[in-house]
Amino acid sequence: MSSLSQAAGSVVASLQLSEELRRMHVAITERNLSVPLRDDFYEQCEALEQSVGGDEFRRAHRRVRLANALSGFLAVPVLIVVAVLVGMGYFVDGFDPIDWVVGNLWVVTLAAALIVAVLVLALVHSAARRRLLRVEYPALLARIGL
């Protein structure tokens, strides 16, 4: 059920950003602002910010993207090792992945460290995204008078 509620929350968040983007497009058009209309919410915010000066939103968005990229980068080695071990368990006669992992505890330690790092980065990403949408975005709107 948790996965279903997360998926629903993601859809709702996406719809809210689409609505915010639509509202920005209407305001830009009504006020004849010299800002190009963009199809992406974050690109539109960065274009608005560039027109009024400042870089707080852009820097906060960069932090969100960096945390997201790093968590993916750290998760890939764990997935590859697990896939290789499972594959070897199926295709190599006499190979037991569990015995191999128990015999090589450094793999468990490394995987655990990577998983903890991914979880920490997920928390950083969540906090950075929350700050972006709850602090930086309203501040941007206030600076441009929307």
DSSP secondary structure code for residue 139 in this structure = H
- Check residue 115 and give its pLDDT: 87
Report the alpha-carbon distance of residue 75 to residue 137 in Å, rounded: 30
pLDDT in tens, 38-51: 999 999 999 999 98
The pLDDT of residue 41 is 92
Rounded average pLDDT over 47-61: 91
Residue 32 has pLDDT above 90, yes or no: no
CA distance 46 to 24: 12
Q: Which residues of 45-69 are buried (b: 16+ CB within 10 A; e: fewer)?
A: bbbbbeeeeeeebbebbebbeebbe
**Maximal C-alpha separation, the chain:** 72
Domain ranges of the chain: 2-144
CB 111 within 8 A of CB 78: yes
Residue 61 is predicted with a pLDDT of 95
Burial classification of residue 137, based on how many CB atoms lie within 10 Å of its CB (0-12 exposed, 13-18 middle, 19 or more buried): buried
CA dihedral 29, 35, 40, 46 (to 10 degrees): -140
Would the pTM count as exceeding 0.75?
Answer: yes
Residue 33 confidence (pLDDT) above 90? no
Nearest to 21 by CA among 49, 40, 48: 40
pLDDT value for 65: 95
Segment 58-77 shows an average pLDDT of 92
Question: Which residues, 6+ apart, have CB-to-CB distance to 129 below 8 Å?
Answer: 64
